């Protein structure tokens, strides 16, 4: 992984000192709430429903065991003993005290971490494929490019007060596990005609109130121009993005208003005009950065079918099938750590679990852990012979629910329980769905289904791109839920369609059960996924079933 | 008397904005549109013109007249306004403007570091700000990842081409 040098370390240390002084001035009344807000947001600090919330950056989801132990320490020392992993591969703490946040940031800096630009109208954490470097299908490791972009974006003097937040995702795989089409900028690694690496650039995607799929604005950008082109996009956006209306300020609205063609023309014009001053990304710099992400010292192993004690038990076999993935190196396997146990809020993890996982990672996965944008964690480099042992340990920790990719592997925002923006709860709806669909064999029969749930239209839970999307709405002070189907983050990305009037809270799992009933009846063979069936037959058969009785309002 | 920060020192401001009373040694600032309008009408404007530009003003029309200008004031009417950062960088880089470049408006010391890196060299901050204390903000960071107009910061050098 990337390691800080003196410049990186000095920068985060000075950032802590700066924020400590800003917090002091706020508490002393020298800064008003309006003046302090943009400063604290740029350090990840929100004022929430019950307490401040601190969002810590995990660049492209990559963590060392040492860093994970520090996250556990912070949960124990400054919070209530747990943290919440988010859809941006970050972690949030829901109960820190404002006065102690500078100390938390200082603790983070001691392990090469920070909370810089995890909120506010600036360039946010760069996200990437959580299988980067181990996926058999990738063109090249995207992480060196992510780190290059992270450094370019950190405290960028020109782009620190944008019209609105700005999210960049990078993928190097056709499977696109980074959902680049729903980002302000999506970067796809491509090979050029001579095998050289370049990028397809997308712009103007995003969810929120106005969900839009990003448009390709450059089919192939040479590597040397990556930062210059990002700078051109950001400059066009910073100058012309709307600042009069917060809900129309994202770059997607500018791209839509201008049209992708005109937006592209302006970006290209700016790119050409600024060549002399824009940063260049030389091949040597990419090589220097790539050295940080060199493969770990893999042993020469043979692929096996699992083996070891514990093999053969049905629970182990299910876990092996659903919670592990193929690795590009023979004898190794990728292990998903499920943060979707029945009864727990999706993405939540206790300090004890973090510490135990850090220890396990040291033993079996080169001391590294990754956060996914589906709110799970990954041990990316596990020798196949160690799988039964890893399963037993994770099972003992409550982290081996064999549901990765199934219905109960839900994405879910913190909702009304914690968030001051939410209209409705999402965590207890997740629990309701878990309770209704607790039969794993039934879930396995259903195949891959993504449920994504947001407590309000800001769409932190990405409901628009869920195969089944659930959006909390407020109706006369009561919590109701609007259901969409047919959304997808990839292959190609699509926005779900609303099936009809929203349903009351106690009917959410019943509604899902009916959707699944139609799917099971209509599906073509075992291989047709729910979302593919929706694409093929449309939403009408689903609507008919959901709204056919008095259980639900017509 | 209004105090401002100019080239990292506190001085008394000699600039008068539209609506303010001019004095014997003051400089009057005119809005960009007025400046361009006068030039278009054939009136002489230089050689030491002082111009006021707002966040939405385009710079392309001003660029050819920059030889006549010795002060450009960029307004930041609201907390969180960020267009002036781009205007400053374009003036300094693309249009090679070397005169005084001032940031004025809803600005606290917390914005000084970025503004200086974008090319501003004078600052008319929120009147409530303690200007003496604010001077320390130019040294908030001793390092940066991006090139900037200030010379004091150690900038991360990306490896050069071979």
Tell me which residues of chain A have a pLDDT lower than 50.
554
Does residue A222 lie in a domain region?
A: yes
Is residue A147 located within the same domain as residue A274?
Answer: yes
Helix spans in A79-180 (H): 101-109, 143-153
Residue A54 near residue A101 (C-beta atoms within 8 A): yes
In chain B, what percentage of residues exceed pLDDT 70? Answer: 98
Does residue B160 lie in a domain region?
A: no
Domain of residue B29: give its range: 3-155
Interface contacts A/B by beta carbons within 8 Å: 108
Task: Say whether residue B131 is in contact with chain A using an 8 A CB cutoff.
Answer: no
Is residue A148 located within the same domain as residue A100?
Answer: no
Is residue A387 located within the same domain as residue A417?
Answer: no
Instruction: Centre a 10 Å sphere on the Cβ of residue A398 and count the other Cβ atoms it contains.
Output: 16
Is residue A90 located within the same domain as residue A164?
Answer: no
Complex ipTM value = 0.96
H or E segment at A395? helix A387-397
Q: What is the CATH number of the domain that holds A174?
A: 3.30.413.10
Q: How far is B162 from chain A (nearest CA, A)?
A: 7
In chain A, which residues have their Cβ closer than 8 Å to the Cβ of B148?
Answer: 157
Of B115, B144, B158, the CB nearest to A155: B144
Which of A94, A109, A124 marks a domain boundary?
A: A109
Q: Are strands A215-222 and B154-155 parallel, antiparallel or unpaired?
A: unpaired
Is residue A143 located within the same domain as residue A247?
Answer: yes
Is residue A377 located within the same domain as residue A423?
Answer: no
Residue A370 near residue A377 (C-beta atoms within 8 A): yes
Instruction: Centre a 10 Å sphere on the Cβ of residue A29 and count the other Cβ atoms it contains.
Output: 7
pLDDT tens readout for residues A447-497: 999 999 999 988 989 999 999 999 999 998 899 999 999 999 987 899 999
Split into its structural domains, chain A has a count of 4
Does residue A407 lie in a domain region?
A: no
Is residue A277 located within the same domain as residue A386?
Answer: no
Nearest CA in chain A to B126: A35
Which residues, at least 6 apart from A116, have a Cβ–Cβ distance to it below 8 Å?
A: A12, A15, A42, A43, A44, A57, A154, A155
Give residue A305's pLDDT: 63
Phi–psi pair at A216, nearest 5 degrees: -75, 120
Quote the distance between the C-alpha of residue B92 and its chain's center: 10
Split into its structural domains, chain B has a count of 1
Give residue B47's pLDDT: 77
In chain B, which residues have their Cβ closer than 8 Å to the Cβ of A239?
Answer: 83, 86
Does residue A305 lie in a domain region?
A: no
In chain A, which residues have their Cβ closer than 8 Å to the Cβ of B120?
Answer: none
Instruction: Centre a 10 Å sphere on the Cβ of residue A516 and count the other Cβ atoms it contains.
Output: 21
Does residue A125 lie in a domain region?
A: no
Taking an 8 Å cut-off on Cβ atoms, the answer to whether A157 and B144 are in contact is yes
Is residue A474 located within the same domain as residue A377?
Answer: no
Is residue A105 located within the same domain as residue A168?
Answer: no
Instruction: Centre a 10 Å sphere on the Cβ of residue B20 and count the other Cβ atoms it contains.
Output: 12
Nearest CA in chain B to A235: B86
Give residue A322's pLDDT: 96
Task: Say whether residue B143 is in contact with chain A using an 8 A CB cutoff.
Answer: yes
Does residue A356 lie in a domain region?
A: yes
Provide the 8-state DSSP code for A141.
-
Separation between Cα atoms, residue A409 and residue B111, nearest integer Å: 43
Q: What is the CATH number of the domain that holds B134?
A: 3.20.20
Does residue A348 lie in a domain region?
A: yes
Q: How far is A461 from chain B (nearest CA, A)?
A: 27
Taking an 8 Å cut-off on Cβ atoms, the answer to whether A7 and B118 are in contact is no
Does residue A364 lie in a domain region?
A: yes
Q: Are strands A185-191 and A197-203 parallel, antiparallel or unpaired?
A: antiparallel
Separation between Cα atoms, residue A224 and residue B100, nearest integer Å: 34
Does residue B45 lie in a domain region?
A: yes
* Secondary structure class of B117 (helix, strand, coil): helix
Separation between Cα atoms, residue A449 and residue A444, nearest integer Å: 10
Separation between Cα atoms, residue A367 and residue A357, nearest integer Å: 10
Does residue A268 lie in a domain region?
A: yes
Chain A: residues touching B (Cβ < 8 Å): 7, 10-11, 14-15, 18, 22, 30-31, 34-35, 38-39, 121, 148, 151-152, 154-163, 235, 238-239, 243, 273-274, 276-277, 279-285, 287-288
How distant, in Å, are the alpha carbons of A88, A337, A347, A489, A538 from that of A341? 20, 10, 9, 23, 32
Residue A339 near residue A432 (C-beta atoms within 8 A): no
Residue B115 near residue B88 (C-beta atoms within 8 A): yes
Taking an 8 Å cut-off on Cβ atoms, the answer to whether B143 and A121 are in contact is no
Question: Residue A393, by phi and psi: left (phi above 0), alpha (psi -120 to 50) or beta?
Answer: alpha
Residue A171 near residue A364 (C-beta atoms within 8 A): no
B interface mutation test: which of A16, A157, A241, A280 has the most B CBs within 10 A?
A: A157
Q: What is the CATH number of the domain that holds A371?
A: 3.90.480.20
Is residue A345 located within the same domain as residue A487?
Answer: no
- Give which of B108, B82, B90, B134 is closest to A120, Cα–Cα: B82
Token duo for residue A361: 């990672």
Instruction: Centre a 10 Å sphere on the Cβ of residue A343 and count the other Cβ atoms it contains.
Output: 9
- Give which of A174, A199, A189, A119 is closest to A419, Cα–Cα: A119
Nearest CA in chain B to A6: B143
Domain of residue A37: give its range: 6-109
Phi–psi pair at A421, nearest 5 degrees: -90, -25
In chain A, which residues have their Cβ closer than 8 Å to the Cβ of B162?
Answer: 282-284
Is residue A31 located within the same domain as residue A171?
Answer: no
Is residue A423 located within the same domain as residue A379?
Answer: no
Task: Say whether residue B133 is in contact with chain A using an 8 A CB cutoff.
Answer: no
């Amino acid at each position: 992984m990337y390691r800080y040098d003196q410049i990186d370390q000095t920068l985060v240390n000075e950032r802590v000192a700066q924020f400590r002084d800003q917090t002091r001035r706020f508490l002393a009344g020298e800064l008003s709430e309006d003046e302090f807000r943009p400063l604290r947001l740029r350090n990840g600090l929100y004022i929430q429903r019950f307490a401040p919330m601190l969002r810590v950056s995990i660049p492209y989801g990559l963590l060392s065991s040492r860093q994970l132990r520090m996250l556990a320490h912070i949960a124990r020392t400054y919070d209530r003993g747990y943290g919440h992993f988010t859809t941006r591969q970050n972690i949030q703490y829901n109960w820190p005290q404002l006065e102690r946040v500078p100390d938390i940031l200082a603790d983070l800096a001691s392990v090469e971490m920070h909370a810089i630009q995890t909120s506010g109208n600036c360039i946010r954490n760069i996200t990437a494929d959580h299988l980067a470097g181990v996926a058999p299908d990738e063109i090249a490791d995207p992480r060196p490019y992510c780190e290059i972009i992270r450094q370019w974006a950190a405290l960028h003097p020109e782009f620190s007060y944008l019209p609105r937040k700005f999210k960049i995702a990078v993928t190097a795989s056709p499977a696109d596990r980074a959902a680049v089409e729903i980002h302000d900028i999506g970067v796809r690694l491509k090979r050029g005609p001579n095998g050289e690496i370049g990028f397809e650039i997308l712009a103007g995607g995003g969810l929120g109130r106005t969900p839009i799929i990003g448009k390709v604005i450059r089919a192939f950008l040479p590597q040397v121009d990556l930062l210059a082109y990002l700078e051109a996009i950001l400059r066009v956006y910073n100058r012309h993005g709307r600042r009069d209306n917060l809900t129309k300020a994202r770059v997607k609205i500018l791209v839509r208003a201008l049209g992708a063609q005109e937006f592209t023309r302006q970006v290209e014009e700016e790119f050409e005009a600024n060549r002399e001053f824009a940063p260049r990304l030389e091949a040597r710099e990419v090589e220097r950065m790539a050295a940080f992400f060199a493969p770990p010292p893999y042993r020469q192993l043979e692929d096996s079918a699992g083996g070891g004690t514990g093999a053969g038990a049905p629970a182990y076999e299910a876990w092996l099938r659903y919670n592990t993935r193929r690795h590009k190196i023979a004898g190794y396997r990728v292990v998903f750590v499920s943060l979707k146990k029945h009864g727990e809020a999706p993405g939540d993890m206790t300090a004890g679990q973090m510490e135990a996982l850090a220890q396990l990672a040291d033993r079996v996965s080169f001391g590294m852990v990754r956060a996914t944008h589906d709110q799970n964690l990954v041990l990316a480099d596990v020798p196949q012979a160690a799988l039964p042992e890893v399963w037993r340990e994770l099972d003992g920790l409550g982290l081996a629910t064999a549901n990765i990719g199934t219905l109960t592997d839900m994405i879910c925002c913190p909702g009304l329980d914690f968030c001051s923006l939410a209209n409705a709860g999402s965590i207890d709806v997740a629990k309701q769905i878990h309770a209704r669909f607790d039969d794993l064999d039934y879930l396995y029969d259903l195949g891959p289904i993504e449920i994504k749930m947001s407590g309000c239209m800001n769409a932190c839970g990405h409901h628009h791109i869920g195969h089944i999307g659930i959006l909390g709405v407020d109706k006369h002070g009561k919590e109701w839920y609007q259901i969409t189907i047919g959304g997808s983050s990839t292959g190609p990305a699509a926005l779900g369609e609303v099936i009809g009037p929203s349903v009351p809270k106690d009917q959410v799992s019943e509604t899902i059960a009916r959707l699944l009933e139609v799917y099971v009846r209509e599906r073509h063979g075992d291989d047709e996924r729910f979302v593919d069936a929706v694409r093929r037959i449309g939403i009408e058969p689903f609507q008919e079933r959901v709204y056919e009785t008095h259980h639900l309002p017509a | 008397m209004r105090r401002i920060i100019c080239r990292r020192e506190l001085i008394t401001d000699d600039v008068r904005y539209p609506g303010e009373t001019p004095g014997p040694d003051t400089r009057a600032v005119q809005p960009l549109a007025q400046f361009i309008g006068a030039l278009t009408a054939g009136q002489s404007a230089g050689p030491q013109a002082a111009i006021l530009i707002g966040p939405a003003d385009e710079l392309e029309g001003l660029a050819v007249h920059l030889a006549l200008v010795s002060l450009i004031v960029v307004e930041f009417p609201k907390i969180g306004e960020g267009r002036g950062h781009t205007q400053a960088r374009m003036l300094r880089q693309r249009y090679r403007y070397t005169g005084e470049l001032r940031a004025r408006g809803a600005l606290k010391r917390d914005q000084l570091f970025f503004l200086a890196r974008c090319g501003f060299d004078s600052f008319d901050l929120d009147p409530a700000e303690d200007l003496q204390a604010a001077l320390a903000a130019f040294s908030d960071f001793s390092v940066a990842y991006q090139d900037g107009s200030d010379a004091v910061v150690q900038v991360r050098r990306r490896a050069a081409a071979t």
